[in-house]
Amino acid sequence: MDFFEAQERARKRTTKLVVLFSLAVLATIFASYVAALSVGGLLSARSAYIPWFYWDPQLAGYISVGVIGIVAIASLYKWSQMRHGGSAVAVMVGGRRVATNTTDLRERRLLNIVEEMAIASGVPVPAVYVLDEEPGLNAFAAGLTTSDAVVAVTRGTLEKLNRDELQGVVAHEFSHILNGDMRLNVKLTAIVFGILVIGLIGRGILRSLGRGRIRSGGGKNKGGGIALILVIGLAMMIIGYFGYFFGRLIQAAVSRQREFLADASAVQFTRNPTGIAGALKKIGGYALGSRLLDNRSAEIGHFFFAQSFRSSLGGLWATHPPLPERIRAIEPRWDGELFEPPELVAVERESFSSAGLAGSGGSGRRGRPASASARTPVAFDPIAIVAGIGALTETHFTQAQAKLAALPPGLRDAAHDTAAAPALVFALLVGGATADLRERQLATIKQHSGEAAASATSHLLGDIAQLPADARLPLLQICLPTLRALDRAALDRFVGTLDELVHADASVSVFEFALQKMLVHQLDLLRRPRQAVEFHSFRAVVPDVNAVLSTLARLNAGDEPTAQAAFAAGAAQIPLIAEQLRLATAAGTTLERLDTALDRLALSSLPIKQRVLVAAAQVVGADRTVSVEEGELYRAIAAALDCPVPGLAVAPAA
């Protein structure tokens, strides 16, 4: 699956959504106009002389403004509820955030699967939530960007699925993260709520009337006033649900076809079709299936792995294809049997490895040796690297498992501990320093974050010394959900200390730049609102493209001709501006200039980002190999452009 093609398809679906939404609003306006004429006819003494329907421009104008205003305000209100990303959606439906240092074996297994897939696909590790009150089998991914995404599963999913099945479900949700579906889902939720709100207002009026909370004036007009309120409330409820009918149709139409694609991507990622197929069969075998008990979940039914509510109108409102169709798409020879699953998957009685707590694959991967390709010299193929952006592939997954399995247990435990995770990031920076600089950096940590942080950092340095260089960024990815859980004061202390450490020796290394850039961007430390695309022309970003390609070309070039050749290989990938690109001098090639360029390129259109990453990969791959530094800088560049790059196979340090 091409990442940029998927993002473009998501953009087109958004356009389609806007068109359908506009039609639903027009239908609501029409229904409101007819209702206003009917109510007017019933209450007017002139009703005998008024046709049942006629065109009144002034009335139509008032109704149009009123309906559009109500729908817009309601949609913006719902959007504001979800503006904080996936965590807001998960909490809205009763989700509980899983602590990264949880000791619950089922939760630990889920976290490990999510970490494996995040590292394999190159996205920041999402926060994980559990819907404790939901015994059905279901899951969803939510968020506005990959940096604020979450993966949520029901209690039934944790208890009733084995590791392979859970892996298939999580891979399905990662497909939605990578294909740009999450933001579309949030938009769809806000839109459907906006259409529904008129009906909710009408229902509220009727309930208030039934409870005697609405008072009319005294005397003979009292009965007429109550009758008017009753008619208005009933009309609003009918109008609202008329619009809601079309809103549900939109929700179903937009979401159904995506599920087949996500299922196929999950199979491609895990190379284990029995996992996701087994999960679907268990959904069909259980009486409750994938249905959720909380009525709030119906608002986000299109987010879920499987149908979360009973669909009415013969499946017309169904947000997911029928289970048999999904299973047969995965297993064409399926015999139609939905087996009766065991009551619980007894994780506590499984071995450490088979329970998925050692980071190894399930039954679909048994017998395969752990991959060490991350530290084996391999040819670097720029085209394959760009094609792997946002991709779900077995190779990346196997490499991620190998990297996680090779991490010292003490470091992985620290990454999951809110008290130790900041110290772990500090240790990644301090670990490569000289003895004198290390002492000064530890003193800086003590000054800005306290003696406990300095002591914890010092304690981790032994394990850091044994850490392969290409495992540093994956370890940083694991830290992200833990760091997001810090309160604002702790996060501010962490960021301040981090900046002091990076500049402790009055220079910034490539690794320090990559680490800080990825943390600032993926943790949204600057709290910047999502910005719209500003640059649609390559000519508008020539200096910025030049800075990216020049930095990469000079990174490991031994001489000027080598740097020139690498730069030319990248510039040739952007023919529209190739003649305007010139390799910057060594003095003019700075990480500070690169930082400014990336901030501007982040505001560019997807085609520009894609070609920049293609060109950058060509520069890196000019010698057909990739060093650790080149791999880290390339991933930092891609992260700044919101393009997830899986871990790169790198040549070992000399």
Confidence of residue 13 (pLDDT cuts 50, 70, 90): low
| Positions marked catalytic | 173
Q: What is the DSSP string of 230-284?
A: HHHHHHHHHHHHHHHHHHHHHHHHHHHHHHHHHHHHHHHHHS-HHHHHHHHHHHH
Q: What is the DSSP string of 22-45?
A: HHHHHHHHHHHHHHHHHHHHHH-T
Q: Please state the domain extents for the chain.
A: 1-356, 407-517, 530-640
- Least confident stretch, 254-258, 329-333, 406-410: 254-258
Task: Check: CB of residue 255 under 8 Å from CB of residue 302.
Answer: yes
Q: Is 161 exposed, middle or buried, given 0-12, 13-18 or 19+ CB atoms closer than 10 A?
A: buried
- C-alpha 296/C-alpha 415 separation (Å) is 34
Task: Check: CB of residue 96 under 8 Å from CB of residue 132.
Answer: yes
pLDDT of residue 343: 53
Per the model's pLDDT, the better-predicted residue between 291 and 42 turns out to be 291
Instruction: Report which residue type is found at 552.
Output: L
- Residue 205's SS3 state is helix
In this structure, the strands spanning 127-131 and 96-97 are antiparallel
Q: Please, what is the average pLDDT of the chain? A: 79
Look at residue 144 and tell me whether its pLDDT is greater than 60. Answer: yes
DSSP class of residue 337?
Answer: -
Look at residue 51 and tell me whether its pLDDT is greater than 80. Answer: no
Look at residue 562 and tell me whether its pLDDT is greater than 60. Answer: yes
* β-bridge mates for residue 96, sequence order: 130
pLDDT of residue 567: 95
pLDDT of residue 351: 42
Per the model's pLDDT, the better-predicted residue between 524 and 622 turns out to be 622
* 628's tokens: 């650790």
Confidence of residue 268 (pLDDT cuts 50, 70, 90): confident
For 90-119, the pLDDT digits (tens) are: 998 899 999 988 989 999 999 999 999 898
Closest CA to 58 of 37, 28, 27, 31: 37
Look at residue 48 and tell me whether its pLDDT is greater than 50. Answer: no
- Least confident stretch, 23-37, 203-217, 607-621: 203-217
Task: Check: CB of residue 125 under 8 Å from CB of residue 480.
Answer: yes
- Least confident stretch, 252-266, 321-335, 522-536: 522-536
Instruction: Report which residue type is found at 429.
Output: L
pLDDT of residue 471: 85
What residues have CB less than 8 Å from 26, skipping those under 6 apart?
Answer: none
Look at residue 368 and tell me whether its pLDDT is greater than 90. Answer: no
pLDDT of residue 625: 79
pTM attached to this predicted model: 0.77
Confidence of residue 451 (pLDDT cuts 50, 70, 90): very high
Look at residue 468 and tell me whether its pLDDT is greater than 60. Answer: yes
pLDDT of residue 201: 74
